[in-house]
Each structure stands twice: as structure tokens, then as C-alpha cells.
Structure 1
């Protein structure tokens, strides 16, 4: 039997009405006197939310950085990294873009140097390798406003204008010390943003059950989330302002983020990163469109990788794709990449970017360029 191992850095999660009041306790725990808030512009425009964060911190803020943009552009990450130099902790308020930007900026601020030198790169053998990052990082407390999977993760990715591929950063020391899910903070996100983020969590849960790094602990978290998320995402249509529902979705997304931090991503994640950056679409929408196509590829190349999903959905592996399509169909209306603005001329760039994405190595079989090209043509 092959020796396997599992480890998880302790993560505290506080949730429920009034849980944001725990922020002061969490900042005391990490010894922070000068926290910097990194948030989305929408959070910054809501003066009541920022006042709530400052009041809950019970100490003066080092500052507020709010000009965070989707897909974490490198210019934004560098700007945030410069601002973090005056802080001793980071409080992130927002969704996945704010969290990923803050994590990448934290790494850049503490490690110094250039982002390209800190990022995952190809080694002499053509494989992807991540440099070991050893500097101590600023403690991070995350207050999500959407059901994002980014909160408990160790990775971040930076995009560059004109480049199809992303720069991926991986540093376990940059994981959050605490996640606080308060209904007052999740209430303001538009229902479409909440739905798309939850959809991203659902797709990641399914794909995490197929990867070569999947394990007992990840399967438990991802399987539970995959069972619970479809019905709860559907409830948003009739209960868009249900605070308990939004908190539950955010908790399930944390489970998925933690599970996939262990199991790793797969080809859907790699393609979604590439396509989403190219057409500036939310990863959840792209994920839901692409997952069935990826599952068809898995069915052709290694149907045994579908065993966990098959058991979860009570079908045989050969029927997994159809079962997942039936789950996703009422949750996302887009069916083709053309509806997102992807053109056939874009495919070579998207293939290259996906193959350079670390998540593409998560499949149980060797993914070739021709596999990705065929998949994207089918999805057009």
C-alpha cells in the first residue's frame, strides 16, 4: 500500500449573527495593532460596513485599500503589497478577488523581489514547480461577503494585461488564520454574484472528487458540499435575501475551499481560469459550462476517476456526465463558450494558458494539448 499523509493548518471559522464582533479577539490572538483592510470597491462605498469592521476591530486601522479588481491584475497586487508594508495584519472584506489579491500582495510584500520570480514556473524537464517561500507572512483574517472557496486556501494567482496565462503563487504561510461569516456582511452582495460564487464552489466540489490527489478527508468535505449546494443555490431564486441561506452557502464554500486545497484542482479549474480572464467572466459561470465537457474527457481517458461522484449520485461512472449536467442545467443558463464571447481564434491561447495552469496537472491521466483543444471546440 502506498503511504499517504494528510495535514491541515488549524483554521478558526466563526459564523452567525454578530460574529464579526469576534474580529477584535482574532486580531488580539495574532498580536495585531495595525490591521490593514483590503476590500472591494462595493464594500468601500458602503460606509456602514467599513464602520462596522473598524468598530469590531476595536483599534485604529493602518488603512483601507479598496481598488481591488476581478482576476487580481498584477498592477493591483503590487499596489496593495506596497500598502501592506505599514501593517502588521490583513483583514480582507469581500469575495474571491479581494481575498486572492490580498494573499498575493501579502506574499509579495513579505518575500520582496518580483512576482515572476515567486511564481510557479516550468523546470528544465518541462514540469511545473513552485519555489519555496520562507519569509514570515502577515496574519490574515477573512470576512467573506460571498460564498467564495478562496478563504481557506494557500494559493493565489495574478493576471497580466495581454497575457493569457496567470502567475500562480503558493505559500502555506499565507493561509488565513480565521474566517468570519456574518450575515450583515453577506447581505449586500448581489444575488447573481452570490449564485455564481456558489456555482463555482459546486463545480469545484465535483471536480475535487476526481483528482489524483483526492483523499478520504477531502472526499468527506467535498461530498457533503456537493450534496447540499444544488438545492441551496436553487433556493436563491425565491429567497434572495435569506441571510441564513447566504451564510450556509458561504460555509459550504469554505468546506470546498478546504477540501480542494488538499485534493487539488483539475482541468475545469485550469480552463475556467484561462477563459474567465480572457473574457472577464465569473469563474462560476465558466465552470458550470465546462465541467460536463471535462467529465466526458475523463470518461474516455480514466472512468475510474469518476467513482466517487458516481457513488455520490447513485449512478454508474459512465452516466456521471449526464447526471451532473442535469444538476447544473437549472442553475446556469449558458451552454456555449460563444455566448461568453469566446471565438475560435482564441482557442490556441486558451489551450496554452490552461496547460500552463498548475490545476491542469490534477487529472489522473496525462492531459495533452489536443485533449484541451478538442474539449474547447466541443464547448464552443
Structure 2
């Protein structure tokens, strides 16, 4: 067996139907007295419900979370928190809201309780991201890890099948990259394989019946596992591409991951046979990249980057930014190879 290092992340997970009702207990357990509830404008109703459950431990609601976590949004939330004398955060929503909570934790050191409503999995990682002047900066810091994550499958029942699909494929991409990361370990490999299996099996069930509570729970479990994998390993070409695309062009986060996933998998998996074998087992196939593309088509995910509004003229500057600041990757990334990959992803599935 090859040598490895596995550094477990300190996370408390509360999982199960109706778990949202325990949010006040979790806040009290952390000794917090005045928490600011974070959400997007679209999820204000949920945030108000959380605030009601918190009672006098709720300092207020900040409902301006935005995709890719603009610096201006973080500053605005921080100002509100100071005015309200908040001593912590409850981030209720998807990746945008949880990303805001993590950015605020990075700046203030105040603890976060995460209540995910999508399958992004970012709540399980110490990775933060901030966007300023069209460039998304990311980093790792354990201070941004939520102290508690409350997974309540009931909160995902209203998630539209299209959003469920892209959100789930976003999480699945975390596991794919973790399997060929330079710091992968047997623990991460096992979690990644099971997370891919959970999501690949359950997402089509949700597409067929959005009210399938068992499939919703399976997807949330898969997102948890896939996010934990990303939190324990080094990101590669897939995440670098998505960060550049999102920061430069303000593309929808989950959709970008879903579109890019099979193309980067096809590029990298020939150089990562152990990862390919694990994915083949999880997807019950002998061609994991093709199976990922087929899964996207079954879930009616946009076929290519051009369907997300990317122009062919954008591709050269995307490639230049990726090559200027590359991430670790199992296969060397050259200019011609990257241009071919981007053009294929722009055109869409084959």
C-alpha cells in the first residue's frame, strides 16, 4: 500500500428528516447569543423560519447572499452584523449562502452553523472563495468550517429537479477530483466512491419524482460525502476551470461544474487508473467519462458552455488564466490540450 496522510476535519453533522427543528439547540450548544441568519433573497422565507426557531438568539436576517461571494456582499453583511452585535452566523441555503458564511467566518472568526438546502457539499470543506473585479480568489482555512451542519432532507423537497441535477453533479465533481488528487487516501477514496454511487443512483429518481423523500436523503448523503472528499484533498483542473469561468464571466456555479465535469474526466482519467476504476464501479460502467456525460443528458443539464452564455471569443482568455495559475493535476495541462478541452466543452456533449 502506498503511503498517505489523512487529516480528518472537525465537523459535527446532524442528519435526518425534521432536523431543522434542532437549530436552536445547536446554536445554544456553541454558546451563541445573537446570530445573524444569512440567505439569498429567494430564500427569505426559510431564513425567517430559522429566525423564528432561534427565538431571542436571532439577531436578524441578511438576505443578500450572491453567487461567487462578491467582496461587496461580505462587507455589507459584516456591517449589518456589527450594527446588530451578532456573535455568529446561521447560513441557510445553497452554496452562495454557505459561501458567504465561510467568507464572514474568515474575516471575523465567528462560528457558522450551516443548513444546506442544495447538494453542493461546500459546507463540508475549509475552502473559501471571494470574487472581486471579475476574478475569483480561493483559499483554504479551517476557520471557515461550519461548526455544525444540519442536513434536513425535507428542506430539499421543493428544490426543482433541474437545480437538483446541477447541484448534485457539482457535488459529484468534488468526488471525481478527490479520487485522483495527489493527497488522496483510502478513506477519501471510499467516501468518494460511495458519494458518486449515491448521487448517480438518486438524481434520476428525483427527476422522475421530485417528492421521493428517500432519493432526496440519498442525494444529501452523497453531497455530504463528496464535499468531505473535497475538503480533505487538493483541487485540480476541473475546479480551476470552474473558478475561472465563474469569476470572469459570472456563470451559474453548479451548471458550470455540471457542464465541465465529463470533459475534464475524459482528459484526466486515462492518467489516473485507480480513480477510473473506482468511478467505473460506482457508475456501473467501463467508461466513467461517457457515463457522466450520459447522466447529464438524462438529467437535462445544459450540454455545453455556449448554452450558459459563453462566447467562443471568451475561451482564449479563460485558457490563459488557467495556465497562468494552475492547480495540481494528474495529467500535465498544455496550451493546445486546454484549448481543445475548452472548445469541446463549449460545443457540448458528444
Output the TM-score relative to the length of structure 1.
Answer: 0.82
Q: Structure 1 stretch 366-375 or stretch 87-96: which is displaced more?
A: 366-375
For structure 1, the residue ranges without an aligned partner over 5 or more in a row are 111-136
| Alpha-carbon offset, residue 216 of structure 1 | 0.9
Matched, 1:36 2:36: yes
Q: CA RMSD in A?
A: 2.4
8 Å contact from structure 2 (residues 280, 288) kept in 1: yes
| Structure whose residues are more often helix by fraction | 2
8 Å contact from structure 1 (residues 24, 56) kept in 2: yes
| Alpha-carbon offset, residue 340 of structure 1 | 2.0
Matched, 1:24 2:24: yes
Q: 1:54 to 1:342 in 2, by over 3 A?
A: closer
Structure 1 CA distance for aligned equivalents of residues 17 and 285 of structure 2: 39
1:338-377, aligned counterparts within 5 Å?
A: 338-355=306-323, 360-377=326-343
Output the TM-score relative to the length of structure 2.
Answer: 0.88
| Aligned counterpart, 2:61 | 64
| Aligned counterpart, 1:260 | 230
Matched, 1:232 2:202: yes
8 Å contact from structure 2 (residues 32, 57) kept in 1: no
| Aligned counterpart, 2:128 | 156
| Aligned counterpart, 1:96 | 95
Q: 1:309 to 1:60 in 2, by over 3 A?
A: closer
Structure 1 CA distance for aligned equivalents of residues 28 and 310 of structure 2: 48
| Alpha-carbon offset, residue 235 of structure 1 | 1.2
Structure 2 CA distance for aligned equivalents of residues 320 and 244 of structure 1: 25
8 Å contact from structure 2 (residues 258, 301) kept in 1: no
8 Å contact from structure 1 (residues 298, 305) kept in 2: no
Instruction: Select 2:164's aligned residue among 175, 180, 194.
Output: 194
Structure 2 CA distance for aligned equivalents of residues 138 and 152 of structure 1: 17
| Alpha-carbon offset, residue 328 of structure 1 | 3.2
Structure 1 CA distance for aligned equivalents of residues 342 and 284 of structure 2: 29
Q: 1:299 to 1:23 in 2, by over 3 A?
A: closer
Q: Structure 1 stretch 213-222 or stretch 56-65: which is displaced more?
A: 56-65
1:1-380, aligned counterparts within 5 Å?
A: 3-44=3-44, 46=45, 49-85=46-82, 86-108=85-107, 110=108, 137-161=109-133, 163=134, 165-299=135-269, 306-313=276-283, 319-355=287-323, 360-380=326-346
Q: 1:299 to 1:238 in 2, by over 3 A?
A: closer
